[in-house]
A and B are shown apart, each in its own frame.
Chain A
Amino acid sequence: MEMQQDQHMKILKSCNVLGPCANIFISSNTGSWRLERPQVDFSACIKCGACQRYCPADVIDIHKDREECVTFMWDYCKGCGICANECPKKCITMIDERGEG
């Protein structure tokens, strides 16, 4: 019998399944829960990587060779603010997602 995970690879046909069942895992977009967003002052950043190590969702990347040296995966950053708290240079600010702050 055909493997259920292989069906979508071969693009045979779309089959509707009902309820919370799937053969490929698509994580929930937890970024939609975010109320505040971290904003980095790249001129003050020393690229130490503290924010990356403390991020509980592991969504921060450090790029030593780029001007925009810290990036976030916005689909999964919940805006907890731990990166801003832990930054030794205090160069991460939490910005209101609704644009009110």
Chain B
Amino acid sequence: MARYKMLDGNAAAVEAIAMAKVGVISAYPITPQSSVAEKLSELVDKGTLKANYIRVESEHTAMSAAITAQLTGVRAATATSSVGLALMTEVLGMASGCRVPIVMPVVNRALAAPWSLWCDHQDTMTVRDTGWLQFYCENVQDVFDLTIAAYRIAEDKRVQTPAMVALDGFFLSHSMQKLLIPEQAEIDAFIGPYIPKNLRLDPKDPVIINNLTPSDEMTEMRWQQMMGMKNAETVIDEVFQEFEKTFGRRHSAVEGYCMEDAEEAVVSLGSMSGTAKYVVDQLRAQGRKAGALKVVSFRPFPYQKVREALENTRKIAVIDRTAGLGGQGAPLWTETAAAMKDSGKPVINYIAGLGGRDISMYTIENIFADLAENNGSSPVWIDLKENAENLRQVEMYV
């Protein structure tokens, strides 16, 4: 029987990784991911999890060790956050390019500078084009469910692409919530043992991995990766359907809330999506036709589903938890605007919640209020303080 537990997001990620029976863990602690690395190490120490734990000196090595371990034919686990993910960037491409389907929780935290420890999507957005799948969690149950589903999706023969499960730093990683954990036998039946579908590493039976690849093969190998991403859209739907049949909880690449007759909609990622649903309820009670669209799968971006969900709206607000510096808008807006490019509907970008600033119900109410009046001015920094220009004034002789 499945049982309820009180866990924070990091513990839920650990629970999923342990139930996937990983054989090797190579992780480097970083706030707010640290308790993932620590709890996994405890499980290995107690013998609850039969795995080798490699203590590494950096995130660059954490990912390198995880890739080579997984290439020998076991599931390998690691997890990171923020500047740790940035240090890992070079090796992220090795995992996706060599088609090593690692599943990695990433606890979202702002990149430096300004030095921050708090939630912001800048870290995962910066690596959005490294060829990894990216799933964003709304709550702690999502962290567990999407991690389990990610193993199935990433390891599918048609996909063979690594996956990041992104959870908002502190809002999810350190927030205790009630969640339902299935039996180990149910998880075993759902994801099964790890079977490598590409060539595997064996010292007695050598193969070549990642030799210098000239221009006459590069395009084709990138095309293979593109097909993996494309196939992932179908596989995500199949796996989520099977997940619902097995565990009774519905997940989808994009989830609409009151979208059927919505005229104004907010598009969101991650933990802010729960708040967006709450505000939609409040506005509905006032008679406004509001709706919310949560994007779960950012890579691959399910642009057809997004377009269908937003088809009947009049105005669209897209909330990005990253600044998108120098762009016409931030990444979620760019993708949504591209999906809606032929519709002629106004798609307004709202920048909010940077470096741990709360995206409260008031923030989202303000976004709906601005959206009603907005004549195409975008992006809007919705929670910007009035003193932004003279935030840290000093006295100086000039």
B interface, size bucket: 20 to 34
Nearest CB of chain A from residue B39's CB, rounded to whole Å: 33
B398 at the interface (CB under 8 A from A): no
- Contact B214–A28 (Cβ < 8 Å): yes
B157 to chain A, nearest CB (A): 10
| B interface list, Cβ under 8 A from A | 97-99, 160, 198-200, 202, 204-214, 216-217, 221, 224-225, 228
Query: Interface of chain A, helix or strand or loop or mixed?
Result: loop
Q: Assuming the A-B contacts A4-B199, A17-B198, are A23 and B208 also in contact, with contact meaning beta carbons closer than 8 angstroms in the complex?
A: yes
Contact B211 A19 (CB under 8 A): no
Contact with B along A14-28 (1 / 0, CB 8 A): 000111111101001
Residues of A within 8 A of B200 (CB): 4
The verdict on A43 contacting chain B, using a C-beta distance below 8 Å, is no
From residue B132, how far is it (CB to closest CB) to chain A in Å? 14
A29 and B97: CB pair below 8 A?
no
| Chain B residues whose CB sits within 8 angstroms of the CB of A21 once the complex forms | 98-99, 198-199, 207-210
In the assembled complex, 29 residue pairs joining A and B whose CB atoms fall closer than 8 Å, in A order, are A1-B205, A3-B205, A4-B202, A4-B205, A17-B198, A18-B198, A18-B224, A19-B210, A19-B221, A19-B224, A20-B97, A20-B98, A20-B209, A20-B210, A20-B211, A20-B217, A20-B221, A21-B98, A21-B198, A21-B209, A22-B199, A22-B207, A22-B211, A23-B199, A23-B208, A25-B211, A28-B212, A28-B213, A29-B216
Give chain A nearest CB distance to B163 CB in angstroms.
Answer: 16
Within 8 A of B (CB), among A1-54: 1, 3-5, 17-23, 25, 28-29, 32
B324 to chain A, nearest CB (A): 31
Question: A-side interface residues toward B, CB under 8 Å?
Answer: 1, 3-5, 17-23, 25, 28-29, 32
Q: By the criterion CB–CB under 8 Å, are A23 and B207 in contact? A: yes
Chain A: CB-nearest residue to B209: A21
Known contacts A18-B224, A19-B224, A20-B97; A4 and B207 CB within 8 A of each other: yes
